[in-house]
Structure formats: structure tokens, C-alpha cells
Structure 1
């Protein structure tokens, strides 16, 4: 009987403890919700980043990374902003230039800021009315762009001209010491294979290692006209340059074949008289029995020139 009574007392104590804990937790929650439902006034830090920086200006590195906002609102609203810390993007394109500073007025941009952070500015105010950021003017320059575009043509196709870029120069701004040394920009590498028709497109400018500079455009358009090409050959006599007086020289062969590539439209325009192949007497050294022939003149619209024979045998007669 004694054991039963003791067991009953212990059960009552455990039950009471659970009940007490439940009511304590419940009352704590009620107290918490009552507290966060009250209005408070508190200053919170909001992270800030800067966008739309004017291309001709370099802003100071010593600029605020947080803005202080005084909020008078319910406790849960303040708690939300402290936990999730919404970021504000300050559009410096909306700032006013004054005495070497970009001045951003918070009240003038109130609606723009409200859209970003969903804060009712009837109950919140930035401690600062304006934000002034120092800047240095950038130097501007028009810089030539060189293509890094590799075009591999299908058999029988080629191009008579180099790749065209539009624009072929771009406006760049930045610190004067960097701008003054910048002579050329390059596109990113691009390769197109098996081409048998005109090509065109856009390619980015390579801005790697140029983080201090601002580019008014970061891509250019490229194009190239592709044509059907064919190969031909003509027989051209070999001439001797710098032949001393009273010196006779006999060469073999006296003519060589010049091979070339030309587009089909201009094939009929190619004649042997358009080419000139020479050997220079001054290139002959004692013991030599041949001299090297070179093409020194050819039409501007032919390409991939080569000779069937470059070593010309010779005999000198004094």
C-alpha cells in the first residue's frame, strides 16, 4: 500500500511539471507577440551597392557600404529588416554633380528606393538627407579594335579581304596613365570552320586585365564576304637583278610556273604579264650552283602564290 501511494505522488508531480512548462511556454509566446506588436524606433544598417556609375567618372573607394535608416514601426517589421537586411542599389545616374562630388538625394529618389526594399518611408527616414561621393574624371579615348577571328574555309572557298569590324574603334575611359598607353584592343578568340558562304555576327571585346577601364560598348559586329575560288597557273620568265657589267649568265630553267588562287569572277583577268619573278645576282656566293627565285610582283586579287621551281641553276660567263 505504501509503494502505491508513493508512485501516485510522483505521477502527480510529473503531471504538474508538464502543465507548468506548457503554461510558461504559452505565456512566453503571448508576451513575445505582444512585444513585437508594439511600435519601436530603432536605427538599422542597410547594405548599399552602387550601379549606373557615369562612364566618364571614377568614384572614390572610400564610399559607404551601409546606410543608417531610422525606423518607427512594429517590432516584427524591425526584426524582419535586421534578419534579412535588404540591399539598396543606389543609381548614381540619378545623382547630381556638385564640386567634384556626386550628390545623391534620398528624398528626391524616395519612390525608387521604396520599390527596392519595400519600406514605408512614412515610418522610416535615412539619417543622412544626402550622400556625397567623391569622384575623379576619367580620360576618354577612341581605341582601335583588332579581330582575333579564325575562319577556316571549305574546299574551294576563300575570301579576298580581311574580316571587317563595325565599329572598328570603341570609346574607352579610365585613368590617364592607363589610357595613354592603350593603343589597341582585341576581340575574344572566335573560330568558325567549314565556311562556304558569307559570315557575320557579333563578338565580345576582350576586357580581361582592364578592370580599371570603362567601355562604352563591349562588343562589335564582324562580317566577311566569302567567294568561290579556283587555282590556276601561268608561265613566267625569270629575270636576273644586279647583274654586273660584262657578265653573262645562263640560267635553267628560264621560265617557272606560278601557281595562284583567285575567285572565279576574276580568273579571266589573270595574265602572265601580271607577274614578275627574279633572282638576285648578289645572293650568289662562291661555290653556289643555284640561286633562289622570288615572286616580286603579282595582281592584288590573287593569293597563295607559289613556284613550281625555286632553285634556278646557273652558269656564269665573264
Structure 2
């Protein structure tokens, strides 16, 4: 027991000595820091700019971030404190800049008083670099362009959509400088990736502008994409072939007289599709002008509620009988 007590007392004494040493070390460090901060220093600070007074019908076309290197002389206390709050320099384009060749030109010496007031009386401004800033601008214009869907969509087996993907809206207004918007022919969506689709689609998707025209704005930032998804099946019908523009003094015999047509249709509309809903024609002028030995059949009428319509035969043979 006595041995344990003695060990405890020895540890306590040692810890006390250590605490006293630490206190003196801390006081010495504080005194050193205060002596350093009480001296004057000349340093270069990097600050951003805040553009003000840009006319409503103008837009800046530069994408580069603008910063100033401000060389200042001040006491260490002030310099240390400057790292904890923003010293963004305001640039008034109306009063502190002039226009030259569609560019606002800002001169540091003309705006020196505003820079000094931003830093305060405790800072002495030695220099500002660069001493001239250029802000190219364009006249604000509006143009309406179509929206292009960027999608990767896979329907489940037997399922499809008759009308395809519907975009609401299907076009968008782009707002920016007249020179930049002329280069934009459409606006693309972010990628829409859907797999094994069996149900109707109704989703919101964002619009994306190319990085090189990031100064442009859109009248809205997203659109709605919808699609009516149905169960589809394949149908086939025999459709009669009609010869057009046949001269009255010529008779021909052609074959086949009908062509088998395949198509895809929703199960709901399957029974409503009839041969009369289709029309296949051949034009006599085709063989008269080109001296061909066969007709090329063409669809002249197809039901609006079917898709992927195909003829099983793409030639009609003929013989002139008179």
C-alpha cells in the first residue's frame, strides 16, 4: 500500500512540473505572436471582383474568373484578420469603366478610392495588378430552339409506345449575346436511361448547355418527358396493289396482285385494323421514264395507330399485254 501511495505522489509532482512548463511555454508563444503581429508587413492579397451596374440589355461573354492582386502594407493584426473575411472589390461598370469595341475597360487608378474604402484605413494600397481589366460583352438576345432528348430506353419484351417520347415543352428559349446564341441549333437534355419499361413514362429531366456557352441562360431548366406504353403484337394483312397513271391504250398484267404487309399494333387496336386502312400503289410513269422491268410498290396510306410497317415484297413484275 505504501509503495502505491509513493508512486502516486511522485506522478503528481511530475505532472505539476509539466503543467508549469507548459504554461510558461504558452505565455512565451503568445508574446512572440503578439510581437510579430504588431509589426508592419507588405503582402500581396488575391481578391475577387463583384460586377455591378451592367445594363439589362447586355451580358458579359467572358467565362474566365477575374481576380486582382492587391499589394498592401498594414500591421500583422490587420493582415491576419483579412484572411477571415471577404474583401471582394466592387467594379461599377457604369462609373468605373468605359466602353471600347464591345468591351468594358476598368482602370485601377480610376477606382483606387473604392478599393481603399473596401480595405479600410488600416491598409495602405501599394499597387493593383493587373491595373486594367477587360470585360467583353454582347447585346442580349432571345432565340427559340428545339429540345433534343438524350435517352437510352429499352422496353420490356412485347411493350412499346406508339407516339414515341413526348417532350413538354419541345422547344426552349435561350437568352444571351446575339453572337453566341446563333451557334446553338438545339438544347440537349441530360441522359434519360430506362430499362425494361412496361408502364407509362412521366418524368422530369434537366436541360444542359455546352460548357463553351455557359454564359447563356434558358427560359426554364427542365422539361417533362412522357410516353404512353402499351402491349404490342404483330399483325399481317394482304393488301391489294393499284397501278396509277396507266395509259388508256395500254393493258398490263402484273403480279402479285396483293402484298402481305406486317405491322405492330397495340392489343387494344388489333381487331380494328382492316385491309382498307392501307393503300399500296405503283406508278406506270416509273417504268415509262426509266424503262424498268418491274414496279416499286409504295405505301400511300397507313393507319396512324400502327408502327414498323413492312411489305414482304418490294417488286411488282409486269407484262404488257396490249
TM-score w.r.t. the length of structure 2 is: 0.65
Give the C-alpha shift of residue 91 in structure 1: 9.0
- Asked if 1:233 is matched to 2:236, the reply is yes
| 1:176-187 correspondence to structure 2 within 5 Å | 176-187=178-189
CA distance in 2, matches of 1:56, 1:62: 17
Give the C-alpha shift of residue 233 in structure 1: 2.1
Residue 299 of structure 1 is matched in structure 2 by 303
- Asked if 1:309 is matched to 2:313, the reply is yes
Are the aligned partners of 1:46 and 1:86 in contact in 2 as well (CA < 8 Å)?
A: no
CA distance in 2, matches of 1:65, 1:226: 54
Do the aligned partners of residues 51 and 157 (structure 1) sit closer, same or farther apart at CA in structure 2, a change above 3 Å counting?
Answer: farther
Are the aligned partners of 2:60 and 2:215 in contact in 1 as well (CA < 8 Å)?
A: no
CA distance in 1, matches of 2:155, 2:162: 12
Do the aligned partners of residues 224 and 36 (structure 1) sit closer, same or farther apart at CA in structure 2, a change above 3 Å counting?
Answer: same
Structure 2: unaligned runs, 5 residues or longer: 1-27, 127-132
Structure 1: unaligned runs, 5 residues or longer: 1-27, 114-118
Do the aligned partners of residues 78 and 167 (structure 1) sit closer, same or farther apart at CA in structure 2, a change above 3 Å counting?
Answer: same
Give deviations 1:47-104, integer Å, cap 9, x for gaps. 215599989521678996127497866x3552475xx697656799xx7966988x99
CA distance in 2, matches of 1:162, 1:51: 46
| Number of residue pairs matched by the alignment | 275
TM-score w.r.t. the length of structure 1 is: 0.65
Are the aligned partners of 1:47 and 1:86 in contact in 2 as well (CA < 8 Å)?
A: no
CA distance in 2, matches of 1:149, 1:91: 44
Are the aligned partners of 1:174 and 1:212 in contact in 2 as well (CA < 8 Å)?
A: no
Do the aligned partners of residues 61 and 178 (structure 1) sit closer, same or farther apart at CA in structure 2, a change above 3 Å counting?
Answer: closer
Residue 60 of structure 2 is matched in structure 1 by 58
Give the C-alpha shift of residue 183 in structure 1: 3.3
1:221 corresponds to which of 219, 224, 248: 224
Give deviations 1:250-272, integer Å, cap 9, x for gaps. 12221222221122222233211
Partner-residue secondary structure (3-state), 1:283: helix
Give the C-alpha shift of residue 178 in structure 1: 2.6
CA distance in 1, matches of 2:232, 2:50: 55
Give the C-alpha shift of residue 43 in structure 1: 7.1
Residue 207 of structure 2 is matched in structure 1 by 205
Partner-residue secondary structure (3-state), 1:165: strand
Are the aligned partners of 1:48 and 1:67 in contact in 2 as well (CA < 8 Å)?
A: no
1:158 corresponds to which of 144, 160, 173: 160
Residue 4 of structure 2 is matched in structure 1 by none
